[in-house]
Amino acid sequence: MPASVAVDPGLSIIDLFQRRLETEPGVTLFEVQQADGSWSPVTVQQFYHDVAEVAKGLIALGVQTGDKIAIMSRTSYQWAVLDYAIWSAGAVSVPIYETSSVEQAEWICSDAAISGAFAETPAHGLILEAVRGNLPGLRQVWQLNQGAIAALAEVGASVADAELARRWRGIVGKDLATIIYTSGTTGRPKGTELTHGHFVRLTDNTQFDESETSVVDVIAREGCRTILFLPLAHVFARFIQVVGISSKSVIGHCPDVKNLVPALASFRPTYLLAVPRVLEKVYNAAEQKAGSGLKLKIFRWSAKVAIVYSRALDTKRGPSWWLKRQHSIANKLVYGSLRDAIGGQVKYAVSGGAPLGERLGHFYRGIGLTVLEGYGLTETTAPITVNRPSRQKIGSVGLPFPGCAVQIAPDGEILLQGVNVFDQYHDNPEATAEALRGGWFHTGDMGYLDPDKYLFITGRKKEILVTAGGKNVAPALLEDRLRGHPLVSQVVVVGDGRPFIGALVTLDEEMLPGWLANHGKPPMPLADARTDPDVWASLERAVERTNQAVSRAESIRKFAILEGDFTELNGYLTPSLKVKRSKVLRDFAAQIDQLYGTDAKNGHSMPTV
């Protein structure tokens, strides 16, 4: 996709912000939620004031151009202030996931040579102080809960505006902006170096794209509003925040996803960032809330109508009169309340991180919420392909962004080029050489381009399973479909070198009480649900439905329900909610062996075929 604009290589992220400051100082840029739930506006000018105070404080305390400063915090307005203050001081911001352990934080601080770090909570402060004890180079930990921002503003009062301007004006596109450590499904996380130019080129090619494939109306026009709840330590939310600050969007933050529903209702966003698991849980929760009997029948009928209606939109004929009539009825009965639950005026969700699945894509479009599925990695400064409002192909991850290119290698691996593709991993020339070959970034993901040049993801190169019979199986399709069951939290499909395909399943503890009530069963702990005959029967039916998407050789023959769930806390999920497959395969090797043993029906696994 050709670039939409030519970008000055001398521009930095701060230049983009200054451009808006000069033209729209009094316009609302953020809304910050108060203790009573209301939202207070923050103008472009006020944000600049808050950023400048912290930046001057950093300069006063000796932070030099190029110094690495870490942020360990939940998604919040403070995160945005710190990020831009670090950049304004000429330094490099390095995010640490707020769920990281001492060991993980120490690796990042050591590898990136962090000289100072911000901690949001007392728990974060304890982690970073523990790290500081082992790393002499980490000179200071600023604790936000102890008034660090006010203290920095006070000490920075002696720094002249001219010195701050000298710092940010000295930054050019090639200068390092951030080191983002991949969340790491295997091995040590690699530090991806992203420059100011990577962000600037992608941002300007996004907000000034006037082509028919533009996403400007979704995320960058006046009136666009979003509430960020995904981690700002992840590149996806970080990029969207840079776009919002540089364009005309209004941004809110929700630090705790437990408060997301009321926050959505009061903030009323027009678009959302989401990962498929969030969209799956919204659907499952809505179905569960419908209960049983007539209400459940109405919900399921309405869901089917939404999917059929959306699919009809992709045909030349379009929806029939009768289908439009059914859709109108379902809209009054079900769809309106679903849209109200997410704020009432959300028109789009931008989804990435994992495949959403065709069924949910059509369901959401059918109820009036178009999910624009995209694809990107830390190494591509977030998105490199995305579906467009005017040219959506559900099931794909869309077309390349302006200035970006996709190629499929002979073995099916996805290769990328673009204005946003990284140049190197931090102090890791071996990994850089492996990833960047022949002028293309080798992603490790597998996929294909259809005749219209839309990209489809089929799985990870290292995750393709080859059964004992020689059948190549991509686990992602099976896992995505089976996770659609309201009781299923996570799925790991297994079978490499085995006679057939199996699956490890974990149950969703949050969804269990409602499912039991809707099926006329008494409350029971998760441990009992694992062996309950009705739970097994329901999951067996879900497996049968899942298997309809594949050949018999690729179908799941047996599954095991594991104790507990995969979480960030126990180390089986990355902060971006990807399963650490290699760790699961290693730690649950005995359960996998049971699937292929002679006594599979032992309370932990049972045959589905």
Confidence at residue 187, expressed as pLDDT on a 0 to 100 scale:
63
Q: SS3 of 508, please?
A: coil
For 580, the token pair is 């650490």
Element at 166 (helix H, strand E) = helix 161-169
For 477, the token pair is 């399709």
pTM of the model: 0.85
Confidence at residue 600, expressed as pLDDT on a 0 to 100 scale:
39
The answer to whether residue 5 sits within a structural domain is no
State the amino acid at position 491 in one-letter form: V
Residue 471 and residue 457 in one domain: no
- Dihedral sign, CA of 559, 560, 561, 566? negative
Q: Give per-10-residue mean pLDDT for the chain (609 aa).
A: 93 97 97 96 98 98 97 97 98 94 93 97 96 94 96 96 97 98 72 98 93 90 94 94 95 93 93 87 84 89 96 94 96 92 91 82 94 95 94 94 96 96 97 96 94 91 81 85 90 91 94 90 92 94 90 90 90 83 91 76 36
The answer to whether residue 486 sits within a structural domain is yes
Give CA–CA dist 326/319, Å, rounded.
10
Torsion angle of C-alpha atoms 386, 391, 395, 396, degrees rounded to 10: -40
Do the strands 140-143 and 114-119 form a parallel or antiparallel pair, or are they unpaired? parallel
Q: SS3 of 566, please?
A: coil
Residue 33 and residue 52 in one domain: yes
Q: Which domain holds residue 552?
A: 464-607
Residue 446 and residue 504 in one domain: no
The answer to whether residue 2 sits within a structural domain is no
Q: Which of 426, 461, 496 is the C-terminal boundary of a domain?
A: 461
Confidence at residue 606, expressed as pLDDT on a 0 to 100 scale:
37
The answer to whether residue 292 sits within a structural domain is yes
The answer to whether residue 55 sits within a structural domain is yes
The answer to whether residue 339 sits within a structural domain is yes
The strand order across the sheet containing 39-43 reads 39-43, 28-33, 250-253, 225-228
Residue 253 and residue 116 in one domain: yes
User: What separation in angstroms does the CA of 354 have from each of 253, 278, 350, 576?
Assistant: 23, 11, 12, 10
Q: What is the DSSP secondary structure assignment for residue 118, as one 8-state letter?
A: E
The answer to whether residue 250 sits within a structural domain is yes
Give CA–CA dist 102/88, Å, rounded.
29
Confidence at residue 598, expressed as pLDDT on a 0 to 100 scale:
45
The torsion region of residue 15 among left (phi > 0), alpha (psi -120 to 50) and beta comes to alpha
Give CA–CA dist 78/47, Å, rounded.
10
The answer to whether residue 3 sits within a structural domain is no
Residue 413 and residue 506 in one domain: no
Q: Which of 252, 269, 286 is the C-terminal boundary of a domain?
A: 269
- Enumerate long-range contacts of 333-337, CB under 8 Å, 24 or more apart: 333/298, 333/302, 334/298, 334/299, 334/302, 334/303, 334/367, 335/302, 335/306, 335/366, 335/367, 335/368
Rg over CA atoms, the chain: 25
Interhelix angle 358-367/276-289, rounded to 10 degrees, is: 60
- Dihedral sign, CA of 78, 84, 88, 90? positive
Number of domains the chain contains: 3
Do the strands 348-351 and 370-377 form a parallel or antiparallel pair, or are they unpaired? parallel
For 417, the token pair is 């080029």
Q: What is the DSSP secondary structure assignment for residue 467, as one 8-state letter?
A: -
Give CA–CA dist 248/270, Å, rounded.
13
Residue 596 and residue 494 in one domain: yes
Contacts of 500 (CB under 8 A, 6+ apart): 467, 557, 558, 596
Residue 108 and residue 256 in one domain: yes
For 548, the token pair is 């309809």
Residue 447 and residue 475 in one domain: no
Residue 386 and residue 291 in one domain: yes
Give CA–CA dist 134/558, Å, rounded.
48
Element at 177 (helix H, strand E) = strand 176-181
- Dihedral sign, CA of 39, 87, 270, 27? positive
Give CA–CA dist 209/211, Å, rounded.
6
- Dihedral sign, CA of 153, 159, 162, 164? negative
Bridge partners for 407 per DSSP: 415
Q: SS3 of 344, please?
A: coil
Do the strands 399-400 and 404-408 form a parallel or antiparallel pair, or are they unpaired? unpaired
Give the DSSP per-residue string, 82-147.
HHHHHHHTT-EEEEE-TT--HHHHHHHHHHTTEEEEEE-SHHHHHHHHHHHHH-TT--EEEEGGGT
Q: SS3 of 472, please?
A: strand
User: What separation in angstroms does the CA of 382 have from each of 147, 185, 352, 420?
Assistant: 32, 18, 9, 8
Residue 212 and residue 129 in one domain: yes
Confidence at residue 100, expressed as pLDDT on a 0 to 100 scale:
87
Residue 384 and residue 489 in one domain: no
For residue 164, what is the domain's CATH number? 3.40.50.12780
Give CA–CA dist 386/380, Å, rounded.
13
For residue 575, what is the domain's CATH number? 3.30.300.30
Give CA–CA dist 345/347, Å, rounded.
6
Q: Which of 269, 289, 321 is the C-terminal boundary of a domain?
A: 269
Give CA–CA dist 29/39, Å, rounded.
12
Q: What is the DSSP secondary structure assignment for residue 504, as one 8-state letter?
A: E
Confidence at residue 601, expressed as pLDDT on a 0 to 100 scale:
37
Residue 276 and residue 246 in one domain: no
Tokens 């694809």 sit at which residue? 375
The torsion region of residue 452 among left (phi > 0), alpha (psi -120 to 50) and beta comes to alpha
Contacts of 62 (CB under 8 A, 6+ apart): none
